Amino acid sequence: MKIAFIGLGIMGKPMAKNLLKAGHELYVFDRRPETMEEMRDAGAHLCASSSETVKDVDLVITMLPNSPHVKSVMLEDDKLAEKMPRTAVFIDCSSINPDASREIAAALEKLGIEMLDAPVSGGQPKAVDGTLAFMVGGKQEVFDRFKPVLEAMGSSVVLCGDVGAGNVTKLVNQSIVAVNIAALAEGMQLGQMCGVEPQKIFEAIKGGLAGSTVMNAKAPMMMDQNFAPGFRIDLHIKDLNNIVDAAKTVDAPIPLSQMVLEMMKVLHHDGDGSCDHSALLKYYQKLSGEVLHH
């Protein structure tokens, strides 16, 4: 399948490479020469502009930071929706506000273009090994046609409802992940301050009810003080702000999400916005004056 891939960042680049490994023909453009060289070496067709990527494709995929970026690329500045074939389909893998997904889908519908919103969970490690979880919104027949493409990048691909449902589900995911990481950091810090080695705590509870994918991924990072980003604090702040906006529209109570958002804002102002979200531990270390260790 001929695919235009827009957004070759920390997540998009490995996702695009997995599409190439699956045998798809990829058309890409990026302003960073080193990224273009890397994608050329991986087998992608390099284009002179984003508009050129969509000229003769079956599918356009975006993996961008937030709602304004997707709107800019598809509808406002680059206007790729007007330049892509009417027979092509648009899949947005960005994590954005569900209302924005529906707005973009409505604009595309006027042009006769179908859309799926398909945000992902799993961070950079799962983007690299092709085991992301896709939460998808859109029509069943469109989903069925393009599910194999998403399966080239993920191990779980689930249709959650109409367009927008994918991003609603992603917001739920991000709320649970944020609160889980905060609880993990709080518990590990408490245990060490009470005199028990963090590694022993991790080994003892990871197989019990408190165990989770979050714990397995983030506890070792916390003990190593390794906050190299798989998913940055600033991106999680973006998602939590979208959660707040979505909650307001339906009057949903989200006290835990709002609390973690405030914690992450503190880290952002401390200069840690580019750290992995496991750096929530730094919030507790700042309050306690004690650094977690193995």
The residue from 13, 17, 126, 170 that is catalytic is: 170
Q: Per DSSP, what are the bridge partners of residue 92?
A: 62, 117
**Token duo for residue 269:** 């102002």
Query: Rounded to whole angstroms, how far apart are CA atoms 14 and 266?
Result: 31
CB burial class (10 A; 0-12, 13-18, 19+) of residue 10?
middle
Helix (H, G, I), strand (E, B) or coil at 65: coil
Q: Dihedral sign, CA of 281, 287, 291, 294?
A: negative
Q: Give the burial string for 75-91 (b: 16+ CB within 10 Å, else e).
A: beebebbebbeeebbbb
Please indicate whether residue 170 is annotated as part of the active site.
Answer: yes
Active-site residue set: 170
